[in-house]
């Protein structure tokens, strides 16, 4: 705070009467009555990749449901919650209130008989997995990145891979959310089922989830096997690999003709030492080849195949939460679509052909995974056996040309985009992709009639003026 010379003289003159009056507070208030402190501005925010950002007027970190309820009744809209910032789409940015649930975190309890656990919404997946393991429990699956908050992961339909395993949202058996009016709602399949069907994948548009009851299972180990094979061979074997393995996925390395396969299967074998994670080093080497040989795709293909030649399959045994998720140190932006499972191999062949015929600048591998169907209204896996194809672009490079070339292929094959990943769809598109779209809109309007939870991106998604 800066005071003018006149104000300082005023204070000094008034101070001479201090001994007689003893009114320090009155003196200070009188002397500085016309000094207005500058408004405090909330810190700017950006997501993990740097592709989304905002300057909210309010940032808040409530420590309890009661504190959250009071905050929601009076704070500036749009109100958006943020976890780890691992969503690439425009779900979070707001000029209103940005709040974190980091202080509403932790495992509340678990039922040894049913293997269900109650978890506060702000808990990160990695911390939750560790805590469940200490209680002898594990989730049936995890995504390949485990930094997200639990609420953020289920709200966007985040998933792992496995032909018979659903997304994290499908593990939810009950939840609690706080609405814009401060009302607390508990829901499950029997209690307010219409809210439950909408809230398990809700994009944060119904209210703020504070507590989640999730189905786990006894702690188990997995044997992870990775190997290199020609992508044509891998694609031919997809049905067999999906059927014979608990978890199957593969990554196609652009301009190489080669793919990295990964399977996980349950085992009682003893754990093996944790290997050094060399994924980031491998990505840096692929970037170097793009930088040096991007002008010569055939030479680049030869160099990558030479580097991969003779690489033996690798195996590792550990508890599931240590083998299913990996560290991602090299940042990127991502687009992922979920397609009818039978369309996956053909769509990926078309994507590869589009990239390599047009010499699109990219080095990040393309990810191919599978997920079981569910009954959640806005789940990308709603009533459909799905495969997921994800493309990534280095965070310092413009992703628009690459994604614009690939998205029409996803759409041609009936794909539904991952809610947390980049896409260009609008309400008109989503209304044709989701049979329960209107039902969700009705629940959303009833819980948030003033649209306090809708930022500009979500207004476009839901067609709200």
Both tokens of 132, joined, read 């469940």
Region 29-35: mean pLDDT is 41
Torsion (CA) 85, 87, 92, 93 in degrees, nearest 10: 90
The stretch 273-283 carries a mean pLDDT of 89
Collapsing DSSP states into helix, strand and coil, what is residue 392?
strand
Cα angle at 214 between 213 and 217, to 5 degrees? 140
Least trusted range by pLDDT, from 40-49, 142-151, 225-234: 40-49
Which has the closest alpha carbon to 250: 237, 259, 240?
Answer: 259
Using one digit for the tens of pLDDT, what is the confidence trace for 433-444?
999 999 999 999
Kindly indicate the confidence band of residue 8, based on its pLDDT and cuts at 50, 70 and 90: very low
Does 249 score more than 90 pLDDT? yes
8 A C-beta contact, residue 107 and residue 133? no
Q: Indicate the pLDDT class of residue 3, thresholds 50, 70 and 90.
A: very low
Residue among 367, 396, 74, 360 at smallest CA distance from 234: 367
HEC string of 279-305 equals: HHHHHHHHHHHHHHHCCCHHHHHHHHH
The size of the chain, in residues, is 465
- CA dist 267 and 265 (Å) reads 6
**pLDDT for residue 279:** 87
The reported pTM is 0.90
Q: What is the DSSP letter of 288?
A: H
DSSP string for 163-231: TT---GGGGEEEEEEE-TTS-EEEEESSSSHHHHHHHTT-TT-S-EEEEEEEE-EE--EEEEEEEEEEH
Paired strand residues for 252? 259, 366
Residue 1 confidence class, pLDDT cut points 50, 70, 90: very low
Task: List the one residue out of 195, 256, 208, 223 whose CA is nearest residue 65.
Answer: 208
What is the rounded CA–CA span in Å between residue 392 and residue 88? 11
What is the mean predicted confidence (pLDDT) over 278-302? 94
Number of other CB atoms surrounding residue 117 within 10 Å: 22
Residue 38's pLDDT is 53
User: What mean pLDDT is predicted for residues 211-222?
Assistant: 98
Phi, psi of 348 (to 5 degrees): -65, -40
Average pLDDT over residues 228-243: 97
Summarize the confidence of residues 142-158 as an average pLDDT. Answer: 97
Neighbours of 186 (CB within 10 A): 14
So what's the pLDDT on residue 277? 83
CA triplet 427, 430, 433: central angle to 5 degrees? 160
**Phi, psi dihedral angles at 235 (to 5 degrees):** -65, -35
Looking at every residue in the chain, the average pLDDT score rounds to 92
């Amino acid at each position: 705070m800066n005071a003018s010379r006149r104000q300082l003289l005023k204070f000094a003159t008034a101070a001479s009467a201090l001994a007689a009056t003893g009114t320090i507070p009155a003196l200070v208030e009188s002397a500085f009555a016309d000094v207005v402190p500058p408004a405090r501005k909330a810190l700017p925010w950006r997501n993990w990749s740097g592709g989304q950002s905002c300057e909210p007027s309010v940032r808040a970190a409530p420590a309890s449901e009661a504190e959250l309820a009071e905050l929601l009744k009076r704070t500036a809209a749009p109100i958006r919650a943020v976890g780890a910032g691992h969503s690439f789409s425009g779900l979070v940015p707001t000029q209103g209130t940005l709040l974190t649930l980091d202080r509403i975190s932790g495992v509340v309890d678990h039922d040894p008989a049913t293997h269900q656990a109650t978890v506060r919404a702000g808990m990160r997946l990695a911390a939750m997995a560790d805590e469940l393991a200490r209680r002898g429990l594990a989730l049936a699956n995890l995504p390949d990145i485990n930094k997200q908050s639990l609420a953020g992961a289920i709200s966007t339909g985040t998933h792992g891979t496995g032909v018979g395993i659903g997304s994290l949202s499908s593990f939810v058996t009950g939840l609690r959310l706080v609405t814009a009016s401060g009302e607390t709602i508990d829901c499950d399949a029997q209690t307010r089922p219409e809210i439950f069907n909408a809230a398990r994948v809700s994009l944060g548009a119904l209210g703020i989830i504070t507590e989640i009851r999730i189905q786990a299972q006894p702690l188990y180990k997995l044997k992870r096997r990775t190997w290199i094979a020609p992508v044509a061979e891998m694609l031919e074997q997809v049905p067999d690999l999906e059927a014979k393995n608990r978890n199957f996925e593969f990554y196609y390395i652009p301009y190489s003709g080669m793919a990295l396969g990964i399977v996980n299967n349950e085992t009682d074998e003893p754990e093996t030492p944790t290997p050094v994670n060399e994924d980031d080093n491998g990505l840096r080497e692929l970037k170097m080849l793009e930088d040096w040989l991007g002008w010569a795709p055939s030479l680049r293909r030869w160099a990558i195949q030479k580097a991969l030649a003779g690489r033996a399959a690798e195996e590792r045994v550990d508890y599931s939460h240590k083998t299913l998720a990996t560290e991602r140190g090299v940042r990127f932006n991502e687009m992922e679509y979920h397609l009818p499972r039978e369309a996956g191999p053909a769509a990926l062949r078309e994507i590869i052909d589009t990239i390599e015929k047009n010499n699109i600048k990219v080095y990040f591998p393309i990810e191919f995974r599978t997920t079981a169907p569910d009954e959640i209204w806005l789940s990308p896996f709603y009533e459909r056996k799905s495969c997921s194809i994800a493309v990534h672009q280095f965070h310092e490079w413009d992703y628009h040309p690459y994604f614009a070339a690939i998205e029409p292929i996803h759409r041609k094959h009936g794909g539904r985009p991952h809610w947390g990943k980049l896409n260009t769809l609008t309400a008109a598109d989503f209304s044709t992709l989701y049979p329960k779209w209107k039902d969700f809109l009705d629940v959303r309007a009833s819980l948030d009639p003033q649209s306090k939870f809708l930022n500009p991106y979500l207004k476009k998604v839901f067609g709200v003026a």
